[in-house]
């Protein structure tokens, strides 16, 4: 990197400016050309790659988005935008597992940089949608498997009872067994049945499952972005207890965050957004 002369890097910066202007006018082809020239001059600047990737994204050219973002991440592993766009590109070509991983990385990085930034909401929305879809696919598979197994067991039990039956046997024993079998299988399917997220995993202001929970000195937990908005717009007090509260007193509630993650990994339907 040090080998690039100052005049060259300055020229590349100017090309980036040109690209930015073109991008704002939605002339993506021109912007791509400018960023490409900048990349040729200074191939080690991650921002040139992410900027070009954004143009490709606007044109739905996801293969190129993936290429550029992969390079950008190699250059700067802490780029929120690179991880975010890479995640989306991977989702487009159905690589859900890796896509989700990139989006989670983007979310973590983004929160550290600016906890109430606009990108966080966007990243979360894409991530939640992907997670929900993943759950839908997996739960469909699980439901199908359970159904097959349930049918097979039912059949086997009927055959067994038919072969083993003796005159002393009570008719109702067989039907009770079948009833119990149905009960066992319906219990097994329960985890995949959407119900309600428990209150203790929901913010008292958003009524939604926690994403980035913080706790106040009073011991009440809120969604970070929302409690910050409250402190800014309504006043410096804890919404529930009305005790004085300053932004710097908010502390991440890691236990609740883990509880949310555990809940979501068991109940993927809770990712559903309106």
Position 200 contacts another protein (CB under 8 A): no
237 belongs to the binding site for another protein (CB under 8 A): yes
Residues 6+ apart with CB under 8 A from 87: 99, 100, 101, 102, 103, 105, 106, 126, 127
Note whether 207 binds another protein by CB under 8 A: yes
Where in 244-273 is the site for another protein (CB under 8 A)?
273
How would you classify the pairing of strands 213-215 and 251-252? antiparallel
> Closest separation between CB of residue 139 and another protein, Å?
23
Q: Is 242 in the site for another protein (CB under 8 A)?
A: yes
Q: In what order do the strands lie in the sheet with 251-252?
A: 221-223, 213-215, 251-252
Structural Rg of the chain based on CA atoms: 27
Q: Using CB under 8 A, which of the segments 37-45, 61-69, 141-149, 223-231 binds another protein? A: 223-231
Q: Is 208 a residue that touches another protein (CB under 8 A)?
A: yes
Interface stretch with another protein, choices 11-19, 51-59, 111-119, 201-209 (CB under 8 A): 201-209
Task: State the Cα–Cα distance between residues 75 and 71, nearest whole angstrom.
Answer: 6
Which CB sits closer to another protein, 34 or 120? Answer: 120
Of 12-20, 173-181, 237-245, 256-264, the window that binds another protein (rule: CB under 8 A) is 237-245
117 scored as a contact of another protein (CB under 8 A):
no
Query: Could you give the 3-state DSSP secondary structure of residue 274?
Result: coil
How distant, in Å, are the alpha carbons of 5, 109, 127, 130, 204 from that of 213? 47, 16, 18, 22, 11
User: What residue ranges bind another protein (CB under 8 A)?
Assistant: 204-208, 226, 229-230, 233-234, 237, 239-240, 242, 273-274
């Amino acid at each position: 990197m040090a080998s690039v002369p100052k005049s060259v890097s300055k020229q590349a910066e100017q090309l980036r400016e040109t690209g930015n202007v073109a991008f704002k006018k939605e002339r993506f082809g021109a912007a791509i050309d400018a960023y490409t020239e900048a990349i040729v001059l200074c191939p080690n600047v991650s921002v040139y790659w992410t900027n070009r990737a954004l143009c490709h994204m606007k044109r739905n050219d996801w293969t190129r988005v993936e290429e550029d973002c992969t390079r950008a991440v190699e250059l700067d592993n802490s780029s929120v935008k690179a991880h975010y766009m890479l995640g989306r590109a991977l989702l487009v070509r159905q690589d859900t597992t890796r896509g989700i991983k990139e989006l989670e990385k983007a979310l973590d990085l983004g929160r550290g940089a600016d906890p109430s930034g606009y990108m966080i909401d966007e990243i979360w929305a894409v991530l939640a949608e992907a997670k929900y879809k993943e759950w839908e696919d997996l739960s469909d598979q699980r439901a199908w498997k359970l159904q097959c197994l349930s049918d097979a067991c039912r059949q086997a039990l009927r055959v067994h009872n038919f072969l083993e039956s003796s005159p002393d046997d009570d008719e109702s024993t067989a039907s009770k067994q079948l009833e119990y079998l149905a009960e066992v299988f319906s219990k097994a399917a329960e985890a995949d049945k959407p119900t309600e997220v428990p209150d203790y995993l929901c913010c008292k202001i958003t009524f939604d499952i926690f994403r980035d929970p913080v706790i106040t000195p009073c011991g009440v937990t809120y969604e970070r972005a929302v409690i910050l908005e409250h402190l800014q717009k309504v006043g410096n007090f804890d919404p529930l207890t009305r005790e004085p509260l300053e932004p710097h007193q908010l502390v991440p509630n890691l236990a609740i965050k883990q509880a949310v993650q555990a809940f979501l990994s068991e109940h993927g339907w809770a990712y559903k957004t309106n």
